[in-house]
């Protein structure tokens, strides 16, 4: 196993004594651990923090995206527009559905969806746009909101990187119809390694999501005029309050939209999330300080630093810069940084070129900006609260040495 001087830390937020105490209190309470009071409190506090009307906690961001896709009620022939520069989970819920997925291109200054490319990808069959706030920047979200409202399509925000991010003073996850959040171990806050949240505007949608996460179908039920009398309890009294008959005697099912899933967030995980949410500002401040130091140093080296637009707040989950010089080989630069003890993880391979998406029609050359960025120009550097300014200085120096070596070789 390689030991790095500057690693990609496996815990993006770390663990404090307060975190441990919060989890221990739940574990030793003797109460239910699967879906208790901590989950409800975490939802309330998360909604308050983001300004969302409703928050629904789930077991992962991938599950949040799956549930979001289910409540969209996509039908065969519908179309969805999304980004190629994201983790595969963003588009994963669409893979098994009989819908057309169009990958729009990105803006090379933000690495997020380019609203102009999205506009070109919209057709009368488009039902939704899935955008990802790459690295923790809500790039183009204001334009995407306006565009989708005019087109009458849903906007789903993949906010896996974006807790603490905002645009125009408005939190990520509240611009669209649905926001999907991650509390994976690598993220800015975590819920014991996995966890997720949905933020939504509509109370009815929130109710549907809560039913789905608890294995109940997303369905329409009609109350019967007279209860059914099959079995023992139609007119009698069940032996105890919990018999799992739900509404079997009192309702008929008029419509089934989709089946439910077991997507509950456990109470100990929610307790961890609440504890970490309380120190989110300090965690992001530490990330920001390191990112700012990297920005300042890398600007002097002649690479393209990704600037935060005015009026935007960056969550700094990932740190990325782009190469400008044609003579610099990105892959050789990455290998050089690895030799300097800096762990580089290139995030993310273009989704449309994965085999499963090539089978669905993805082809090289369809999103030239994203492809050029990932295959030739993109470099991701470690960023976490565990790093200090001296670590940032070392990274800048290492990048400078690697660039200098390649530039010397290019003119030799």
- Residues 291-345 have pLDDT tens digits of 999 999 999 999 999 999 999 999 999 999 999 999 999 999 999 999 999 999 9
Domain 17-214+262-276 part of CATH 3.40.640.10:
yes
Architecture of 278-411 per CATH?
A: Alpha-Beta Complex (3.90)
- Provide mean pLDDT across the span 94-116: 98
- Provide mean pLDDT across the span 103-129: 98
Give the per-residue pLDDT at 412.
Answer: 65
N-term to C-term CA, the chain: 36
d(CA 198, CA 91): 16
pTM of the full predicted structure? Answer: 0.96
Distances in Å between the alpha carbon of 98 and those of 70, 103, 136, 152? Answer: 13, 16, 31, 21
Is 1's pLDDT higher than 70? Answer: no
Element (H, E) at 44: helix 37-50
Is 279's pLDDT higher than 80? Answer: yes
Domain with CATH 3.90.1150.10 in the chain: 278-411
**Which CB contacts under 8 angstroms, 24+ apart, belong to 114-123?**
114/140, 114/369, 115/140, 115/143, 115/144, 115/147, 117/367, 118/81, 118/144, 118/147, 119/147, 121/81, 122/81, 122/147, 122/151, 122/153, 123/79
Domain with CATH 3.40.640.10 in the chain: 17-214+262-276
- The rounded percent of the chain whose pLDDT value lies above 70 is 99
Give the per-residue pLDDT at 32.
Answer: 87
pLDDT digits (tens, 9 = 90+) for 161-215: 999 999 999 999 999 999 999 999 999 999 999 999 999 999 999 999 999 999 9
Q: What is the mean pLDDT of the chain?
A: 96
């Amino acid at each position: 196993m390689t030991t790095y001087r500057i690693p990609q830390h496996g815990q993006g937020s770390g663990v404090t004594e307060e975190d441990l105490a919060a989890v221990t209190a739940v574990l030793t309470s003797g109460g239910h651990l699967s879906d208790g009071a901590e989950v409800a409190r975490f939802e309330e506090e998360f909604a308050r923090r983001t300004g969302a009307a409703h928050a629904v906690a789930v077991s992962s961001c991938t599950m949040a995206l799956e549930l979001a896709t289910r409540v969209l009620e996509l039908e065969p022939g519908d179309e969805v527009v999304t980004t190629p520069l994201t983790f595969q989970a963003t588009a994963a819920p669409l893979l098994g559905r009989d819908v057309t997925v169009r990958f729009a291109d990105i803006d090379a200054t933000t690495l997020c969806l380019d609203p102009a490319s999205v506009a070109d990808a919209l057709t009368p069959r488009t039902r939704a746009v899935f955008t990802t706030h790459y690295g923790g920047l809500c790039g183009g979200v204001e334009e995407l909101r306006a565009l989708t409202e005019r087109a009458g399509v849903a906007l789903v925000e993949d906010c896996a990187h974006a807790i603490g991010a905002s645009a125009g003073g408005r939190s990520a996850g509240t611009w669209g119809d649905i926001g999907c959040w991650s509390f994976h171990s690598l993220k800015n806050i975590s819920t014991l390694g996995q966890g997720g949240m949905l933020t939504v505007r509509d109370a009815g949608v929130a109710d549907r999501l809560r039913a789905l996460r608890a294995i109940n179908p997303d369905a329409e039920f009609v109350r019967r005029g007279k209860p059914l009398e099959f079995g023992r309890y139609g007119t009698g009294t069940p032996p105890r309050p919990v018999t799992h008959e739900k509404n079997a005697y009192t309702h008929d099912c008029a419509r089934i939209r989709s089946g439910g899933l077991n997507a509950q967030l456990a109470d100990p995980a929610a307790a961890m999330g609440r504890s970490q949410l309380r120190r989110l500002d300090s965690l992001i401040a530490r990330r920001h300080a390191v990112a700012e130091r990297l920005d300042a140093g890398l600007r002097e080296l002649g690479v393209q630093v990704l600037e935060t637009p005015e009026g935007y707040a960056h969550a700094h989950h990932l740190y990325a810069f782009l190469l400008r010089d044609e003579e610099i080989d990105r892959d050789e630069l990455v290998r050089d940084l690895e030799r300097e003890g800096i762990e580089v993880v290139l995030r993310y391979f273009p989704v449309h070129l994965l085999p499963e998406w090539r089978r669905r029609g993805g082809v090289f050359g369809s999103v030239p900006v994203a492809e050029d960025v990932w295959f030739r120009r993109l470099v991701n550097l470690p960023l976490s609260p565990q790093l200090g300014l001296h670590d940032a200085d070392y990274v800048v120096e290492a990048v400078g040495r690697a660039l200098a070596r390649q530039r010397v070789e290019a003119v030799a």
